[in-house]
Structure 1
Amino acid sequence: MTDPQSQNGWFKTPNVLIDRMRTMPKSAVLVLLVLLRHADVQGRAWPSLHTIQHLAGIRKRTTLWALAWLESNGFLKRIRRKTPAGADQSTIYELQPPLSGECNQGTTGGSRIAQGWFPHCTGGVQWGNHEQDQIEEDSMNKTLYCSEPSKKASEPEASEKAVMTFDCVGTGPAQWTLTDRKLQEYREAYPAIDVLAECRKAKQWLIDNPQRRKTAKGMPRFLNSWLSRAQDRAGRNGQPAHTQKPQPKNYLN
């Protein structure tokens, strides 16, 4: 069978993505294009993390960051699939409006199911083993002929969950995401303060002082500096900062 996703295949890119991609992180655009390529008629895709990383041409950590950014900015929703035993198995990426709505504008007859999202799909939805893994046989996963078989999906770690985003300046990414893992690192480094509250203060300060906003690359250094000053004010382990009493000078010698 000819692979519909060979070099002769193609798919439509939603207008909303074209309009917004210049303000989006490049890694997020690449990951979103991969998900669009694999999405079925309901706007759902379930390629493995390895497949997303390989097709986007970026590192695993960058791929996880891009997925967290896309979810926190409303482009997609991640749904965890379970094994019959209840363990985490893989992830479904569900594209969200207005992205999903844009994908189907202009289809004849107004039938989303009949037209599908992508004209290069050569067949309807088929029940089968999408991820070429024995454990999938009991989960009845839907796949399109245009979907690429992939290895067992690898879930983004829970520590990569987005906590908050900071608007950035410069030619790099327009936003920097504070992940749950990074937040935990800060909490371990600055135990005397409420790190999450301080991060919220820092975010508001940058909103109120847009001329002082940082590049995405400079955000970790900015937050470290902010939290370090807050820790100094709070003192070590929540106790007042220790100050050495001045020694009286002996003027008789």
Structure 2
Amino acid sequence: MADSKWMPRWFYQLASPRWCYQICGKLLPWFTVAALALLIGGTLWALIFAPADYQQGNSFRIIYLHVPSAILAQSCYMLMAVAGAIGLIWKMKVADMVAKACAPIGASLAVLALLTGAIWGKPTWGSWWVWDARLTSMLILFFLYLGVMALNSAIESESTAAQATAVLALVGLVNIPIIKYSVEWWNTLHQPATFKLTEKPAMPAEMWVPLLVMVIGFYAFFAVTLMMRLRNEILRRERRAGWVKELLLSK
């Protein structure tokens, strides 16, 4: 393991499957309540109270699913790559488990982003699909997720699979800035980013505030899903450990 005395204590605590399992169990109820409240509230706000767009009418409302899923699909990939890098450098089993747990979630989010984009594109562009730079790079992101999942399934050794998928995830990171900046780099049909930290949103507050609520809700839901998958993966890999046997016997 690399000599990293400057790393905080919690970083090394995360290396303990037992500690990680327990802390996820404590956080799960809070994130579940937050996810439900934000997603239900954001959906009702978006569908009932947000005004229709002056050009697209009510068809624009799919933005409240499309944008959060597209943002989170990219964030999930970055987390997967970072976790894979930590596993490569510090040989942390929990980091490898996080990376493995991220892949199916990210693939599902990428599918949701592509499907909602196609549904939105039909009335807006007159076509379900165009080989737009943003759409194509998002499709590549989905294939990268599939590649990570396929490697995990094809390689029998857990450690070898973790190393191979980490390398693939790190190489695939080059696609993230392409997705983000493709609209600015090339003349594309896709609209520019809805949220920018340096600029005021182009939409009125009654439109973008529920969108922000949905984005935060998606992140909370992602945290819930990731922690549940991670806890299952920890139990699977540590099934021979004494603390796991005690846990199962106590239930």
Normalised by the shorter chain, which TM-score bucket?
Answer: under 0.3
Point out the structure with the larger helix share: 2
Q: TM-score, normalised by structure 1?
A: 0.24
Structure number with larger C-alpha Rg: 1
Larger strand proportion of the pair: 1
Give the TM-score of the pair, scaled to structure 2.
0.24
| Larger relative contact order, structure 1 or 2 (CA cutoff 8 Å, min sep 6) | 2
